[in-house]
Amino acid sequence: MRLFHFAFAFSLSIAGSWAFAAPNAENGKQLYAQHCAACHSAEYNGIGPLHAGVFGRKAGSVPSFTYSPAVKASSVVWGTDTLSQWLADPEALIPGQKMWMKVEDANARQDLVAYLKTLAKSK
Ligand code: HEC
């Protein structure tokens, strides 16, 4: 019986580090606090635009934020794939942008996107 418990715990820990773990918005929230909050928030513009309602909106469409001409003119719409591409390499998705930051870890990107998806539109 002891042996069985050990084996069960072991398989759980493998699942925890599995490369294709389900998106985790809670973890994304922490990553956001660490890596994005210096420039962004859900409610107000900072160095970067506010993120409330970012999921599903067109890139460069917060009226009160001054975007780079490149982002403003782009026809990218923020969804799971475009957000992940943006975070992996903003300049590759929209050349001429001004967010000089990359998230190289695919799991981290997935969790960040899951978190962004939870941010409801501001009123
Ligand atoms: C050093 C400041 C800085 C950091 C850190 C930063 N950003 Fe940005 N972000 C910007 C700026 C500036 C823009 C606007 C880019 C432009 O207009 O070219 C932007 C734009 C964006 C956009 C497009 C928003 C829109 O309204 O079109 C998303 C999405 C985004 N950032 C997500 C993130 C996430 C997620 C992180 C953390 C992993 C992050 N950013 C970290 C500065 C930053």
Domains recognised in the chain with CATH numbers = 24-118 (1.10.760.10)
Evaluate whether 84 touches 72 at the Cβ level (below 8 Å). Answer: no
Determine whether the shortest distance from the Cβ of 112 to ligand 1 is under 6 A. Answer: yes
Evaluate whether 49 touches 78 at the Cβ level (below 8 Å). Answer: no
**Per-residue pLDDT reduced to its tens digit, 57-88:** 999 999 999 999 999 999 999 999 999 999 99
**Per-residue pLDDT reduced to its tens digit, 83-110:** 999 999 999 999 999 999 999 999 999 9
Distance 25 CA to ligand 1 centre (A): 18
Packing angle, helices 25-35 and 106-118, rounded to 10: 100
Q: Which of 76, 80, 85 is nearest to 103 (CA)?
A: 85
**Per-residue pLDDT reduced to its tens digit, 23-46:** 999 999 999 999 999 999 999 999
Which DSSP state fits 4?
Answer: H
User: Would you say residue 9 has pLDDT above 60?
Assistant: no
Ramachandran category for residue 60: left, alpha or beta (phi over 0 → left; psi -120 to 50 → alpha): left
